[in-house]
Amino acid sequence: MTVIEATAQNFDQLIQGEYVMVDFYGDHCGACAFTAPFLRQAASDMAYITFVKVNTTHQPELAKRFDIKALPTFVYFRKGKEVYRNAGGMALETIHKELSKLLYRI
């Protein structure tokens, strides 16, 4: 699976999955560029999780709606409901660590 680029039109549908990770990123953000290949690797490797990315430069209304104050910000959803969020660049090991909070906590 690849990371799906979301728009204001398809976003709400995308986050309805059982487990969803959304990456709010920016065009000129070094930490976002650092994280992108690791996120892509996680998306290729971990079936059943929906990986979504939102370009905050092109989708400012989504950034505003989710009150994104830092880039990148990762928001985790279960069946459309936000479970938690974290911000800052991540390598694969940290992505795994953060995903485990989505998958293995109530």
Partner 1 sequence: MKSKIIDFFDYNTLEIPTELKKWHIPEEEIQKELEALAADNASQAEVTDTIADGDSVRCVCTACGEKAWVGRTVLLYPGRCLPGAEEAEKRIVGCKVGQEITCMVGQWEMTVTIEGAVRQITSAVNDAFVVSLNIPGVSTVSEYSRWYHQQHDMERKTKASYGITHFWLTQTAERSTYEIDEEEKWQWCLERGKIMFEGMLAAGVDMRIPEEGFEILTDEQAIEKAAREQERNFIPFLVIQKLCALDGFVPTEEDYRNAIAEIAKKQGMPLEEAMRKACFSLYQEMVFKEHLFTSMSPKAMACMEV
Contacts to partner 1 by CB under 8 A? 1-2, 18-19, 37, 40-41, 44-49, 67, 69, 96-97, 99-100, 103-106
Residues in the chain: 106
Catalytic option among 20, 29, 49, 54: 29
In the chain, count of helices (H) and strands (E)? 4, 5
Residue 2 Cβ vs partner 1, minimum distance, rounded to whole Å: 5
Residue 30 a catalytic site member: no
Question: In angstroms, how far is the first alpha carbon of the chain from the final one?
Answer: 26
- For 13-34, give one letter per residue: b (16+ CB within 10 A) or e: ebbebebbbbbbbbeebebbee
Residue 104 Cβ vs partner 1, minimum distance, rounded to whole Å: 4
Residue 99 Cβ vs partner 1, minimum distance, rounded to whole Å: 7
Residue 29 a catalytic site member: yes
Catalytic residue numbers? Answer: 29, 32
